[in-house]
A and B are shown apart, each in its own frame.
Chain A
């Protein structure tokens, strides 16, 4: 079966740094995505990792270790608008199906 694990909720303070972890056990791997989803809205793309290492994009960075089945999303200089759910998703080969985790709800407090 396919399994993606993320913490259910996290709380952080405005201006701080937060790391959201994701571990996966899937039948193959063809890339890992992070999406942001505000309550009642559609998921929006944040990052894509297919090779090991860190991808940086502004205040957001995403890291991947394929050997460990592990990724994290790093959010710097947190803003109130970053309060949202963050979805980790793994693309598996043989049809390029994307499996989504349940998401991590991040609360940013003043």
Chain B
């Protein structure tokens, strides 16, 4: 069974440029998460989807970040415009359920460097 797929794996852009990350979750997983992870820190939730509905986006900086999960499968996270402080690893994860015991499966992440 294929795991969570993310692309690109690495992205280098200049500040003020836009950038987009793509995630394909494990087939059948209804819940999809986008996390941000800084070096030496744990993942921080940006947004969580239940099927195509964003049920928790309280930590998403909505002035520059946006996300969508059309048809409740693939998801895209966008930053426009990017700032120097956005340099981090962006992890996508999925789970069968968001309920108790809902183990999350993480993708390899996209390492973003903003110059």
A residues with CB within 8 A of B: 4, 30-31, 33, 41-45, 48, 50, 87, 89, 91, 95-98, 100-103
Contacts and interface: CB of A to CB of B under 8 A. Distances in A.
Interface residues of B, number: 23
Which among B42, B44, B107 has the highest number of chain A CB atoms within 10 Å?
A: B42
B41 A95 contact: no
A31 B107 contact: no
B1 to A, nearest CB: 15
Q: Is the interface of B mostly helix, strand, loop or mixed?
A: loop
Which among A31, A41, A97 has the highest number of chain B CB atoms within 10 Å?
A: A97
Which among B56, B99, B103 has the highest number of chain A CB atoms within 10 Å?
A: B103
B61 interface: no
A30 B100 contact: yes
Contacts, number: 51
Interface of B: 4, 40-45, 48, 55-56, 91, 98-109
Contacts of B104: 33, 43, 45, 98
A103 B108 contact: no
B45 to A, nearest CB: 6
Given A43-B43, A102-B41, A96 B108 contact: no
Contacts of A4: 42
A101 B104 CA distance: 15
24 contacts: A4-B42, A33-B103, A42-B106, A42-B108, A42-B109, A43-B43, A43-B91, A43-B106, A45-B104, A48-B101, A48-B103, A50-B101, A87-B43, A89-B42, A95-B48, A96-B99, A96-B100, A97-B45, A98-B104, A100-B42, A101-B42, A102-B40, A102-B41, A103-B40
A59 to B, nearest CB: 19
Contact of B106 (A44, A96, A97, A103): A44
A80 B8 CA distance: 30
A64 to B, nearest CB: 13
